[in-house]
């Protein structure tokens, strides 16, 4: 079967299975998990005994013990990658390729992935784009890894499912994470009413650029990658670009894992491609409405099996009932960003993010809260006129309402921020103990 024909088959299957009875989806997941678990146990040294709790004496799998499978941390993937990798790649899942992830929020990881994970990720991405009613005949200003072969502005062909007539009218324009904002904006002007892919840092820089240079652009929508868009970014996109943000929960490890429900009832998991669990510190699922850590098992990567891999994010578990939109795919109420992006009180409680109101009280645009010593925090900000006079005392009250009495606060106005790797802007930064930005319990 050609690549294209195979993608069409998977996409059509996903279009159908989103409506299946829940039990049928669970059954499908168990078939995929069984295959992955047996393959990992028999061909990857890391898993030789790690999954033993799952197996009954007669060799069958006891699914009630799934929650006892140890959770794999990013640090383990970083240090044990070679032992996690299979000794017997399944050729039908290839070709295989190396992927690297940035180290901006923890240990950088490098591992082998499969064509199959890519196929599942791409077809799930299309399904999410269809839910968001994205127009595949439009231009998409893409944002990819820095490439020796591609330069900003290069035309890359379609971005929708290529067998559909409407997709054949669409085209993708290359930019990388490092493309300067002036060049990115020039492309948006050259291709009006296009979509673009942005991450948190680029999105903030784009807004700053438009404000400072008084440039008008019109986008159809922004596909927001990496982290959940905060309220500040969302509001600015409506104001300056008349454009909504389409979120997407994806990563190199798991592919496309969840997309927003088309009727606004939280998020739907792409359950045919990944088992996504939201768990407490003991690795047990949290009840609906509660926050927990995101732990994933992507079915497509049989080259570097990730079984109960801690994705480093926090999310709130969704209701167990079938969604009012009719899709049976499991739900997530909301994603709360990277665990790395929370500070904790001395009693261990997470500290919530400062609100948009606090930002307005300070008269701040882009900002960053940095912990510089045990109980000392700096709020660094770029000034922005919100049309009301800043009120520093009100801001301090907002700060202390969220933080704790012993916390020391210093407020510093800055001219600009330097973005981290892949254009990421860190709104919360632990400079005192950078390693504490990854909290891992297991």
Residue 323 touches Zn ion, criterion: CB under 5 A: yes
The tally of CA atoms less than 13 A away on the side-chain side of residue 226 is 23
Closest-CA residue to 154 (of 118, 183, 115, 132): 183
Stretch that binds Zn ion, among 17-25, 118-126, 315-323, 402-410 (CB under 5 A): 315-323
Stretch that binds Zn ion, among 229-237, 310-318, 322-330, 424-432 (CB under 5 A): 322-330
Instruction: Kindly state the smallest distance separating residue 322's Cβ from Zn ion, in Å.
Output: 9
326 vs 348 by CB, closer to Zn ion: 326
126 vs 191 by CB, closer to Zn ion: 126
Residue 320 burial by Cβ neighbours in a 10 Å radius (0-12, 13-18, 19+): exposed
Instruction: Kindly state the smallest distance separating residue 345's Cβ from Zn ion, in Å.
Output: 35
115 vs 265 by CB, closer to Zn ion: 265
Instruction: Kindly state the smallest distance separating residue 330's Cβ from Zn ion, in Å.
Output: 11
38 vs 265 by CB, closer to Zn ion: 265
3 state SS of 228? coil
Chain centroid to CA 3: 26
Instruction: Kindly state the smallest distance separating residue 313's Cβ from Zn ion, in Å.
Output: 21
326 vs 387 by CB, closer to Zn ion: 326
Instruction: Kindly state the smallest distance separating residue 327's Cβ from Zn ion, in Å.
Output: 5
Per the CB < 8 A criterion, the answer to whether 276 and 33 are in contact is no
Contacts of 42 (CB under 8 A, 6+ apart): none
Sheet architecture: strand order including 428-430: 408-413, 376-383, 364-373, 428-430
262 vs 420 by CB, closer to Zn ion: 262
Number of shown-chain residues binding Zn ion (CB under 5 A): 5
β-bridge mates for residue 314, sequence order = 293
Q: Kindly tell me which residue out of 325, 402, 411, 440 binds Zn ion, with binding defined by CB under 5 A.
A: 325
Per the CB < 8 A criterion, the answer to whether 410 and 377 are in contact is yes
339: left (phi over 0), alpha (psi -120 to 50) or beta: alpha
Stretch that binds Zn ion, among 40-48, 51-59, 316-324, 432-440 (CB under 5 A): 316-324
Chain centroid to CA 374: 29
Chain centroid to CA 280: 20
DSSP state of 158: -
Q: What are phi and psi of 8, to 5 degrees?
A: -65, -40
Closest-CA residue to 159 (of 7, 376, 321): 7
Under rule CB under 5 A, which residues in 245-264 are in contact with Zn ion? 261
Instruction: Kindly state the smallest distance separating residue 397's Cβ from Zn ion, in Å.
Output: 39
318 vs 365 by CB, closer to Zn ion: 318
**Token pair in block for residue 392:** 């520093």
204 vs 323 by CB, closer to Zn ion: 323
Instruction: Kindly state the smallest distance separating residue 265's Cβ from Zn ion, in Å.
Output: 5
Residue 265 touches Zn ion, criterion: CB under 5 A: yes
Instruction: Kindly state the smallest distance separating residue 260's Cβ from Zn ion, in Å.
Output: 9
Rounded Cα distance, 13 and 10, in Å: 5
Site string for Zn ion, 204-243 (x = CB under 5 A): ----------------------------------------
Rounded Cα distance, 138 and 136, in Å: 5
CA 118-90-255 angle, to 5 degrees, is 20
Under rule CB under 5 A, which residues in 124-153 are in contact with Zn ion? none
Instruction: Kindly state the smallest distance separating residue 18's Cβ from Zn ion, in Å.
Output: 9
Closest-CA residue to 248 (of 229, 273, 220, 274): 229
Stretch that binds Zn ion, among 130-138, 188-196, 295-303, 327-335 (CB under 5 A): 327-335
Residue 380 touches Zn ion, criterion: CB under 5 A: no
Instruction: Kindly state the smallest distance separating residue 235's Cβ from Zn ion, in Å.
Output: 25
**Residues found near Zn ion in the complex (CB under 5 A):** 261, 265, 323, 325, 327
């Amino acid at each position: 079967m050609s690549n294209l024909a195979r993608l069409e088959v998977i996409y059509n299957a996903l279009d159908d299975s989103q409506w299946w009875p829940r039990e049928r989806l669970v059954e499908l997941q168990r078939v995929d998990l069984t295959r992955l678990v047996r393959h990992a146990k028999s061909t990857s040294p890391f898993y030789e005994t790690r999954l033993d709790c799952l197996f009954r004496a007669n060799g069958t799998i006891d699914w009630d013990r799934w929650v006892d499978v140890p959770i794999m941390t990013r640090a383990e993937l970083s240090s044990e990658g070679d032992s996690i990798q299979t000794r017997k790649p399944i050729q039908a899942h290839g070709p295989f390729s190396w992927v690297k992830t940035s180290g901006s929020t923890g240990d950088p990881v490098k591992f082998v992935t499969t064509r199959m994970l890519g196929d599942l990720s791409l077809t799930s991405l299309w399904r999410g784009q269809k839910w968001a009613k994205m127009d595949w005949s439009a231009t998409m200003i893409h944002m990819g890894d820095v490439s020796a072969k591609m330069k900003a502005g290069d035309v890359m062909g379609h971005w929708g499912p290529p067998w559909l007539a409407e997709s054949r009218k669409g085209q993708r324009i290359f930019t990388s994470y490092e493309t300067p904002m002036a060049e990115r904006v020039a492309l948006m002007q050259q291709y009006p009413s296009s979509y673009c892919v942005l991450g948190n840092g680029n999105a903030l820089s784009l807004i700053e650029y438009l404000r400072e240079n008084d440039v008008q652009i019109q986008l159809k929508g922004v596909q927001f990658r990496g982290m959940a868009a905060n309220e500040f970014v969302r509001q600015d996109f409506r104001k300056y670009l008349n454009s909504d943000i389409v979120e997407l929960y994806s990563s190199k490890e798991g592919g496309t894992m969840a997309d927003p429900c088309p009727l606004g009832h939280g998020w739907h998991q792409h359950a045919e491609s990944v088992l996504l669990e939201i768990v407490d510190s003991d690795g047990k699922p949290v009840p609906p409405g509660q926050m927990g850590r995101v732990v994933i098992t992507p079915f497509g990567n049989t080259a570097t099996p990730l079984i109960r891999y801690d994705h480093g994010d926090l999310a709130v578990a969704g209701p167990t009932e079938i969604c009012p939109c009719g899709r049976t795919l499991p739900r997530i109420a909301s994603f709360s960003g990277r665990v790395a992006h929370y500070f904790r009180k001395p009693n261990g409680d997470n500290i919530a993010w400062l609100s948009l109101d606090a930002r307005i009280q300070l008269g701040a645009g882009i900002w960053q809260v940095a912990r510089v010593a045990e109980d000392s925090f700096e709020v660094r900000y770029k000034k922005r006129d919100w049309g009301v006079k800043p009120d520093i005392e009100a801001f301090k009250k907002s700060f202390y309402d969220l933080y704790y009495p012993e916390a020391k606060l210093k407020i510093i106005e800055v001219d600009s921020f330097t973005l981290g790797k892949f254009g990421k802007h860190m709104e919360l930064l632990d400079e005192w103990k950078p390693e504490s930005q990854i909290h891992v319990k297991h």
